[in-house]
């Protein structure tokens, strides 16, 4: 059995333990998307936004117990009414945020029809903070490809930065990342860097946060160690680029939240997240 399947099985087993009356399919999917959320997560805080995304999340991926979209919603949705109390990747006083935010890259023709979707994006007049959430995806080889339009149509300042350079490496060189989906991250970065042009803002600070799940015994698992190594390598290669890039695990995020004193429900929320997602394989 692959490590990827072991991770899915462990998350499914934990869900079944916590929800003994739940009816999971053989693939670990719930009947309705609300069966996959934690206490404190309200339907009105995420349903409309996920329906407006391009991924049809609520009818498909969100139903899986190991859904990275559901993980993101479970972690952040309770902050919808108080985003200023959210702390994330060194940022505090987070602006209002939305889930499944479309970020057009600015390409021509058919390549522009399916813009990247960020799992979470917060913005105000001074900054943009985006999250790409991963659960088990990196435990199987990602597809890293770009349409030719990415090279042909991007003619602004993005072309001079390290994100564009890394895209050229992906397009023209041998594959060097086997767990980290660098193509997806680069497309997200291009979309974030294009927001100000589309919305008429002046230059703003921007940060892309790569937030990923690991089993509790990740240090014993070759694929997890290889993924961490690739994250570190990629971070160094795009250092100084726009947007900035920060990577952290969900456990690291929850450890930091445990040290906060507000909101008053946060520690109980972290406890629910740990109970659901902290499993070994």
Is 80 exceeded by the pLDDT of residue 211?
A: yes
Q: What percentage of the chain carries pLDDT values higher than 90? A: 80
Residue 278, SS3? Answer: coil
pLDDT given for residue 113 in this prediction: 53
On whether the CB atoms of residues 123 and 95 are closer than 8 A, the answer is yes
Tens digits of residue pLDDT in 217-260:
999 999 999 999 999 999 999 999 999 999 999 999 999 999 99
Tens digits of residue pLDDT in 92-107:
999 999 999 998 998 9
pLDDT given for residue 202 in this prediction: 67
Instruction: Give residue 110's pLDDT band: very low, low, confident or very high (50, 70, 90).
Output: low
pLDDT given for residue 45 in this prediction: 96
For residue 95, report the phi and psi dihedrals to the nearest 5 degrees: -70, 170
pLDDT given for residue 143 in this prediction: 76
**Reported pTM:** 0.95
Instruction: Give residue 176's pLDDT band: very low, low, confident or very high (50, 70, 90).
Output: confident
Is 80 exceeded by the pLDDT of residue 139?
A: yes
Q: Average pLDDT in the 77-87 region?
A: 96
Sheet-wide strand order for 205-212: 97-102, 117-124, 127-134, 205-212, 244-249
More confident residue, 151 or 113: 151
Beta bridge partners of 206: 128
Neighbours of 92 (CB within 10 A): 10
- Residue 249's H or E segment, with its range, is strand 244-249
Q: How many CA atoms lie within 13 A of 178 on its CB side?
A: 6
Residue 71: partners with Cβ closer than 8 Å, 6 or more residues away: 133, 135, 213, 250, 277
pLDDT given for residue 247 in this prediction: 98
């Amino acid at each position: 059995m692959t490590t990827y399947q072991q991770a899915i099985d462990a998350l499914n087993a934990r869900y079944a333990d916590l929800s003994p009356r739940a009816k999971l399919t053989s693939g670990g999917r719930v009947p309705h998307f609300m069966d996959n959320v934690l206490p404190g997560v309200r339907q009105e805080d995420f349903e409309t936004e996920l329906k407006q995304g391009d991924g049809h999340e609520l009818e498909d991926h969100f139903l899986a117990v190991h859904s990275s979209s559901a993980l993101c919603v479970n972690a952040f949705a309770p902050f919808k009414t108080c985003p200023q109390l959210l702390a994330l990747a060194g940022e505090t006083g987070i602006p209002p945020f939305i889930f499944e935010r479309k970020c057009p890259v600015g390409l021509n023709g058919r390549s522009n029809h399916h813009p990247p979707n960020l799992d979470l994006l917060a913005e105000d007049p001074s900054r943009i903070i985006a999250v790409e959430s991963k659960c088990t995806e990196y435990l199987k080889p990602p597809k890293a490809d770009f349409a030719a339009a990415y090279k042909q149509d991007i003619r602004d300042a993005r072309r001079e930065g390290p994100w564009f350079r890394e895209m050229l490496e992906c397009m023209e060189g041998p594959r060097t990342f086997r767990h980290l989906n660098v193509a997806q991250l680069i497309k997200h970065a291009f979309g974030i860097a294009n927001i100000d042009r589309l919305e008429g803002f002046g230059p703003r600070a921007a940060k892309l946060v790569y937030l990923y799940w690991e089993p509790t015994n990740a240090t014993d698992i070759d694929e997890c160690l290889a993924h961490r190594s690739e994250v570190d390598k990629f971070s160094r290669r795009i250092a100084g680029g726009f947007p900035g890039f920060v990577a952290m695990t969900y456990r690291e995020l929850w450890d930091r939240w445990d040290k906060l004193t507000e909101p008053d429900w946060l520690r109980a929320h972290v406890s629910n997240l740990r109970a659901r997602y902290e499993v070994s394989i």
